[in-house]
Amino acid sequence: MSTEFRLTDDPRRTEGFDPRHTHLDQLSPLALVQTFADDQQQALSAVGAAVPALSAAVEAALPFLERGGRLIYAGAGTSGRLGVLDATELTPTFSWPPERAVALIAGGSRAIREAVEGAEDDQDTGKSDVRGARVGPDDVMIALAASGTTPYVLGAVAQARADGALTVGLSNNPGTPLLTAVQCPVLLDTGPEVISGSTRLKAATAQKIALNILSSALMVRLGKVYGNLMVDVRATNTKLELRALRLVMHATGTDEHTALTALNAAAGRIKTAIVMLKLGVSSQEADERLAASKGHARATLGE
């Protein structure tokens, strides 16, 4: 499928004009805000329709990450920045090693804060960025492009597949080259935007929700959560230190002093402290048992 379209026959729904909003510039502030809010609901509907595809992507990606692979994000513009955000948040939330969450964005780090004109149109740079990241057969690429036709992203996907990586693609248009190029296509069909072509609106919202779901589900399946407790969070500030204490108290039913003593002995590692208290073992033994269970607290506890 060609990535070039005549203005009169562009099939990408995200580039369409929504006839409901032709008087957008004449609305009152209240009506204007309500219009934007109502339109965002379509992002939720699009993600709901994509649940089977997202589930398939989680299932396909899990073995790659279990054997030590990385998450590689690739995107341009808003989509690229969403990839950077998701990659960045995995470390403080789940203690995911930062070197195992690599975000590639057209235009490089400068593009995180400002537009780099023309960067997304360079397919060869997408390929070279993937080669520079040394993507390999244990890695998982999450490629994002609202249009589904961004050359930089298509180049990145082509190189990642050639290097043996699993590729997941998120696009807001059906039948686009990105969804054809990847092994795990995820369509987020959000349709035309309130402001025509402004995919930073509901198209980006749907991508953000899908990324939240995809990476969080992977972290849960990798043992980064016990029940619904964030037991691998890094306590790097006062707020998180208090959260860690509450998590240990909640998971074990112990008082504050007991939980704090265990946390200190575990060097702040919540999951280790929970296993210590529930099994009555030392921090070293708790760590050894967790390692034997590949970090899964429930398996370690025999629950």
**Tens digit of each residue's pLDDT, the chain (303 residues):** 344 545 556 777 666 667 787 787 788 999 999 999 999 999 999 999 999 999 999 999 999 999 999 999 999 999 999 999 999 999 999 999 999 999 999 998 888 888 777 778 889 999 999 999 999 999 999 999 999 999 999 999 999 999 999 999 999 999 999 999 999 999 999 988 888 878 888 999 999 999 999 999 999 999 999 999 999 988 888 898 999 999 999 999 999 999 999 999 999 999 999 999 999 999 999 999 999 999 999 999 999
Q: Is residue 230 part of a domain?
A: no
Which domain covers residue 288, as residue numbers? 238-301
Closest CA to 84 of 136, 148, 168, 142: 142
> What local confidence, expressed as pLDDT, does residue 8 receive?
55
Q: Is residue 29 part of a domain?
A: yes
Residue 288 a catalytic site member = no
Ramachandran area for residue 138 (φ above 0: left; ψ -120 to 50: alpha; else beta): alpha
* CATH code of the domain containing 287: 1.10.8.1080
Task: Return the residue matching tokens 């930073």.
Answer: 200
Q: Are 194 and 290 in a shared domain? A: no
**Beta-bridge partners for 167:** 141
Q: What is the pTM of this model?
A: 0.90
Our count of domains for the chain comes to 2
168-204 exposure pattern, b = at least 16 Cβ within 10 A, e = fewer: bbbbbbeebbbbebbbbbbbbbbbbbbeebebbbbbb
> What local confidence, expressed as pLDDT, does residue 24 receive?
77
CA 58/CA 78 separation, integer angstroms: 23
Q: Is residue 232 part of a domain?
A: no
Q: Are 51 and 107 in a shared domain? A: yes
Q: Are 156 and 275 in a shared domain? A: no
> What local confidence, expressed as pLDDT, does residue 6 receive?
54
Q: Are 242 and 174 in a shared domain? A: no
Q: Is residue 229 part of a domain?
A: no
3-state SS, residue 200: coil
Q: Is residue 185 part of a domain?
A: yes
Strands (E), 62-183: 71-75, 101-105, 140-145, 166-171
Burial tier of 220 (Cβ tally within 10 Å: 0-12, 13-18, 19+): middle
Which of 66, 99, 120, 256 is the catalytic position? Answer: 120
Q: Do 182 and 221 meet the contact criterion of CB atoms below 8 Å apart?
A: no
Domain boundary residue among 188, 221, 254?
221
Residue 63's Cα: distance from chain center in Å? Answer: 17
Which of 66, 89, 285, 288 is the catalytic position? Answer: 89
Residue 117 a catalytic site member = no
Q: Are 71 and 115 in a shared domain? A: yes
